[in-house]
Structure 1
Amino acid sequence: MNEMTTRRSGGRAARHARRSAPLEDTLRPIRPGLAGGQYRPLSPEGVARIHQAALDALEQIGLADAPPSGIAHMTRAGAILGDDGRLRFPRALVEDMLARANRTITLHGRDPRHDLDLSSQRVHYGTAGAAVHLVDPVTREYRDSTLQDLHDAARIADRLDNIHFVQRPMVARDVTDNREMDLNTVYACCAGTTKHVGTSFSEPGFVADALALLHMVAGSEEAWRARPFVSNSNCFVVPPMKFATESCQVMEACIAGGMPVLLLSAGQAGATAPASIAGAIVQSVAECLAGLVYVNAVAPGHPAIFGTWPFVSDLRSGAMSGGSGEQALLSAGCAQMHAFYDLPGGAAAGFADAKLPDMQAGWEQMCSNVLAGLSGLNLVYEAAGMHASLLGFCLESLILGDDLIGQAMRCVRGIEVDEDSVSLEVMRATCIGGPGHYLGSDQTLHLMQRDYVYPALADRSSPKEWVEKGQPDLLQKATARKAEILAERAAARFDAMTDATIRARFKIHLPA
């Protein structure tokens, strides 16, 4: 009996060791950049009609309020400035700029293992937004978000396998000077993660300080330009169909500094965009095509992400309803348009209207994250942690989102069918003279890690086992994981000499 127990324990231990051993990236069941595109909510005729409508809107309606520098760049390229002050874009100009657009964009991390290849509908999930509150799910309270909260979010995201990039998810409301806030936002994010970082700037004059800081972190301006690890999230339009004058000037400064830009059009269906899902996509596509003309008129081939971010309204109240099925469809339809143009693109998904990480948040986040991934959206922004229709960010929810996105990515990977996976020989060996089950088969053990994704925090035990373990609560487990990560100094922190150089030049609010 003892010998049998020892053999069983040894076998179980060996299987557990094999299961726990880290796999090479190519053998992992999920990884950044899995190819999506299986889900297409728009018919081919619908895609063509949206494209033609967007071209009509640019040619007939155009956009107002471009800055003088933008007017000069775009009219030189072929845009037409009307007597009404609106820039209109002939079809031939748009098609020419589409031909010039950069389609081979890599968003770099400070650590090259976090580089994001945006070709061929490769899918990546990350944070984003400008929440003004931090959500405490234990006390159920919302408070003003701080620079430390932002740094903590970056530190946590750095440790989560399924969060692939960190675009600033919160506003540092304790830094009241806008210049210092923009600079400290860059510092806090980059000191928290070596993944790619996205940020925005309040005024064009604030870009130079951020670039100088990034040159210090990279080691030189040349090193920065070779591998820019921060991009500019730029709301270059004020929907409907107007340029955001100051943001356009920020964009020009970022282009000159070698920083990739996210061309972000964020109309709200029923308010600042047409209420129909197709109409909201048309307007967003038209605005981003205008942005593409702008960027390529300034610097042909500059890395620019096609950021169609239309949002949905609850038409009963006019409030944003980001957790809705309509929002999931809207982002998926945008991804299909990105694929039509063969352009790297991004949209919002995964954020919840729910105020806390509860069941409502779970269904809202999962619905849009899955559809975004299946549609082949290159960059899924706001995919974890975001609540209250972008007003609140929750660190525990960010951690839980890592599990949720893992399951979404498994859906994106899909089902591989080949001679081995149809399993006929395994069935034959099991059913004819075999054990009658597949639990110990070589195929089962082989596929255990390669094809199956296991949650880090979600509980799959039986009710009896759950009771024996003390009835663990999912939120408590996330809070404990948060404390564990934040108890350690961020591995992404800059070396002492670089940090001292940065602090000697700029007012950094985070403690050293």
Structure 2
Amino acid sequence: MNVQNTSRSGGRAARRAARATALPENLRPVRAGLEGGQYKPLSEAHVLKIHHAALDALETIGLADAPKSGVDYLTNAGAIQGADGRIRFPRALVEDALAKANRSVILMSRDGLTDLDLSGDRVHYGTAGAAVHLVDIDGKHYRDCGVQDLHDAAKIVNRLDNVHFCQRPMVCRDITDNLEMDYNSIYACVSGTTKHIGTSFTDPAFVNPAMEMLHMIAGGEDKWRERPFVSNTNCFVVPPMKFATESCLVMEECIKHGMPVLLLSAGMAGATAPSTIAGAIVQAVAECLAGLVYVQAVKPGHPTVFGTWPFGLDLRTGAMTGGSGEQALLTAGCAQMHSFYDLPGGAAAGIADSKLPDMQAGWETMCSNVMAGLSGCNMIYEAAGMHASLLGFCHESLILGDDVIGQALRCVRGIEVTEETLALDQIAEVCLGGPGHYLGTSATLSRMQSDHCYPTYGNRMSPKEWVERDKPDLLETATARKHEILNAPSAAMFDPALDRAIRAKFNIHLPA
């Protein structure tokens, strides 16, 4: 027994030593841009039916409420405005827009180290949303969120390996002026993380001042246009099948300034979209195809993300159900349509209806994140930190979400079957005169880091070790990590001279 215990202890020590050695990026068990697409909830015949139904909707129903400039762009491209004012899209026009669309979109990071390649079925997870509350887990209550909370979220994202981008997840409710809120949201995020940022604008007139700030940060307009590290999250439609006039004007401005655009259609199944999963996907696809035609009419080939974001609804109450199985299927089905069109695409997953980071939040977050990743969704938004069906954001949940996404990415990576991984030589070595187990063998140690994704915060201790370590609590661990990150300087902080120049030109609410 003593010999066996020593052997096990030595094996454990060796494994710990191996884990302490950092792996190069290409050998990490999970990373940004893993290829999904293994899960296909729709048959090829069903994909075609959805595609043709979306084309029928565009040709016969069309969209209302385009701004005057949008009407001009679309009709000059070949769309038809009817007597009822609705813009209808002939099939050939949609097919032409699909042919012109940019399929080589790379969303840039500020430092060039975490760029996001959206080609094929490459999978990336990140934040998003417009939560109006911050979840305080200590007091189990919700409070209004502010610019400091947004900056803190970005700082945390910067330290999380499995959260690949930071689309603004909260609204700065402590800033009442909308112009100041828009450019302060950008400042708070960009000064918190060097990863790609997504943001929105409340008025087309607010794009220019924000661009002036971004040019300063980038080092000039030419450098910004070379590497635009912020994209515009644009709710260009008001489902069902209406353009959002102001947002369309914002989109036009962002395109002129070289800012990538996320075309976001967010219908609620059973309210502003059909209650069936297939019908909600049809409408979302139709609306985003209309947006794609619009973008190509303004500037062919402009970098665009096809953002079908239909949400589930609890038809008993009318409440959104972001953590439901229906939501997971909506997102996975939309991702399959992105793949069908071979377009960079994005959808929502990881949303919890639960109000706090508890067991309900865990199953809700994992369910849709895994299915979205397996379906090959390029940009999986709202993947960590979101509670109460997007009304609340939690920093601790963002941190714990890094573990959730890590396991989801391991599922996306799948099972490699090669002569080496079939391991017949290992089986023979261990069973024929070997130790009778694989613990501590050279083959196990050589692959333990590259094959296995270990939780950073999740607890795999035995009950005995758990007691010996004073019964560590998951949320307390996450809170301690939060304080550790937030007490350190931001790795994305601006040069002091640049920061002074920005503050001299803009009313920055975040303390210096």
Into which bin does the TM-score normalised by the smaller protein fall? over 0.9
Q: Percent identity?
A: 71
Q: Quick one: which amino acid aligns to residue 505 of structure 2?
A: R
Q: Quick one: which amino acid aligns to residue 365 of structure 1?
A: T
CA shift at 1:10, angstroms? 7.6
1:272 corresponds to 2:275:
no
Secondary structure, counterpart of 1:112 in structure 2 = coil
Where does residue 409 of structure 1 map in the other structure? Answer: 409
**Which moves more between the two structures, 434-443 or 319-328?**
434-443
1:135 corresponds to 2:135:
yes
* Paired residues for 1:5-404 under 5 Å: 13-404=13-404
**In structure 2, do the counterparts of structure 1 residues 438 and 14 end up closer, same or farther at CA, with 3 Å as the change threshold?**
closer
Where does residue 429 of structure 1 map in the other structure? Answer: 429
User: TM-score, normalised on structure 1?
Assistant: 0.98
Secondary structure, counterpart of 1:215 in structure 2 = helix
Deviations 1:20-52 (A, max 9, x none): 111000000000000000000001110000000
Q: Quick one: which amino acid aligns to residue 134 of structure 1?
A: L
Contact 2:349–2:381 (CA under 8 A) maintained in structure 1: yes
Contact 2:122–2:376 (CA under 8 A) maintained in structure 1: yes
Deviations 1:277-316 (A, max 9, x none): 0000000000000000000000000001000000010011
Stretches of structure 2 that go unaligned for 5 or more consecutive residues are none
Deviations 1:42-80 (A, max 9, x none): 011100000000000000000000000011011000000
Q: Distance in 1 between matches of 2:487 and 2:7?
A: 40
Q: Distance in 1 between matches of 2:474 and 2:12?
A: 27
Q: Distance in 2 between matches of 1:241 and 1:15?
A: 56
**In structure 2, do the counterparts of structure 1 residues 11 and 46 end up closer, same or farther at CA, with 3 Å as the change threshold?**
closer
Secondary structure, counterpart of 2:421 in structure 1 = coil
Q: Distance in 2 between matches of 1:293 and 1:458?
A: 45
CA shift at 1:17, angstroms? 2.5
Q: Distance in 1 between matches of 2:8 and 2:84?
A: 82
Secondary structure, counterpart of 2:113 in structure 1 = helix
Q: Distance in 1 between matches of 2:13 and 2:240?
A: 61
CA shift at 1:8, angstroms? 9.0
Q: Distance in 2 between matches of 1:274 and 1:306?
A: 20
CA shift at 1:138, angstroms? 1.6
Q: Distance in 2 between matches of 1:313 and 1:140?
A: 25
CA shift at 1:18, angstroms? 2.2
Where does residue 451 of structure 1 map in the other structure? Answer: 451
Q: Distance in 1 between matches of 2:306 and 2:235?
A: 12
Q: Distance in 1 between matches of 2:379 and 2:123?
A: 6
Secondary structure, counterpart of 1:408 in structure 2 = helix
Where does residue 505 of structure 2 map in the other structure? Answer: 505
1:477 corresponds to 2:467:
no
Deviations 1:307-353 (A, max 9, x none): 00000100111110110000000000000000000000000000100
Secondary structure, counterpart of 1:346 in structure 2 = strand
Q: Distance in 2 between matches of 1:414 and 1:24?
A: 20
Contact 2:14–2:440 (CA under 8 A) maintained in structure 1: no
CA shift at 1:14, angstroms? 5.0
Q: Distance in 1 between matches of 2:111 and 2:276?
A: 42
Deviations 1:180-239 (A, max 9, x none): 000000000000000000000000000001100000000010000000000000000000
Contact 2:145–2:173 (CA under 8 A) maintained in structure 1: yes
Secondary structure, counterpart of 1:113 in structure 2 = coil
Q: Distance in 1 between matches of 2:287 and 2:92?
A: 16
Deviations 1:220-259 (A, max 9, x none): 1000000000000000000000000000000000000000
Where does residue 438 of structure 2 map in the other structure? Answer: 438
Secondary structure, counterpart of 2:123 in structure 1 = strand
Secondary structure, counterpart of 1:350 in structure 2 = coil
CA shift at 1:442, angstroms? 1.2
CA shift at 1:355, angstroms? 0.1
CA shift at 1:460, angstroms? 0.3
CA shift at 1:7, angstroms? 10
Aligned length: 511
CA RMSD of aligned residues (A): 1.5
Stretches of structure 1 that go unaligned for 5 or more consecutive residues are none
CA shift at 1:262, angstroms? 0.2
Q: Which runs of 4+ in 1 moved over 6 A?
A: 4-11
CA shift at 1:9, angstroms? 7.6
CA shift at 1:5, angstroms? 11
Secondary structure, counterpart of 1:211 in structure 2 = helix
Q: Distance in 1 between matches of 2:10 and 2:59?
A: 72
